[in-house]
Structure 1
Amino acid sequence: MIRTFPVVHPDQGVTRQVLSDSPELMVVSFAFEEGAKGALHSHPHVQSTYVKTGKFRFSVAGNSFDVKPGDSFVIPSGAEHGCTCLEPGELIDTFTPRRDDFL
């Protein structure tokens, strides 16, 4: 079954849209304006992030690194993480299990 999810604005300069979900897995698009931030946070879900467009500086468990289109990485369960958008772009995040707080 194909569902369409609304676009929401979780932070200034950021939009989020769930692309697909099941209880075990969720795929989410995040679009960022330059300078927008994904605040430091943690959650019990394992997260995989793919950089579709743009450039970002990430902090994961106290380590900072820059990413560009085509890069991807995994954020372990419980790791504190966040980002700053260096060039406008889109991230595709996958969570396991599903982030019920996004529904």
Structure 2
Amino acid sequence: MTKFPVVKTGEDVTRQVLADDPALMVVVFRFDAEGAVGDLHNHPHVQSTYVEKGRFRFTIGDETREVGPGDSFVIPSDVTHGCICLEPGTLIDCFTPRREDFL
């Protein structure tokens, strides 16, 4: 089993790949402070997000929603999305296919 490094992606935000296959990747994002930002971005991968803990305000395309522990949702390919941390927490993201840029 390969151990992937923890990578700083922004102020008070880190990511770590948990599992990887060409068809699927599982990644944990940790937001350590209220107000930490997951910048707006898009990518060709379909993304599924599960909120393990914390609260977040997500923008997905033209929609904004607040999510908390136990919530999950899918972000379609090439849809612009991002979040603001409202309460420190953890997101578990799955990407298909894998994010080569995370390796």
| Structure 1: gaps spanning 5 or more residues | none
- In 2, the alpha carbon distance for the partners of 1:64 and 1:48 equals 16
| Structure 2: gaps spanning 5 or more residues | none
Taking structure 2 as the reference length, what is the TM-score of the superposition?
0.98
AA at the equivalent of 1:17: Q
Cα RMSD after superposing both structures: 0.4
Deviation digits for residues 20-68 of structure 1, max 9, x if unmatched?
0000000000000211000000000000000000000000011000000
Q: Runs of at least 4 residues of structure 1 off by over 3 A?
A: none
Aligned-residue sequence identity (percent) comes to 65
- In 1, the alpha carbon distance for the partners of 2:89 and 2:54 equals 4
Deviation at 1:8, TM superposition (A): 0.6
How many residues are paired up? Answer: 102
1:93 aligns with 2:101: no
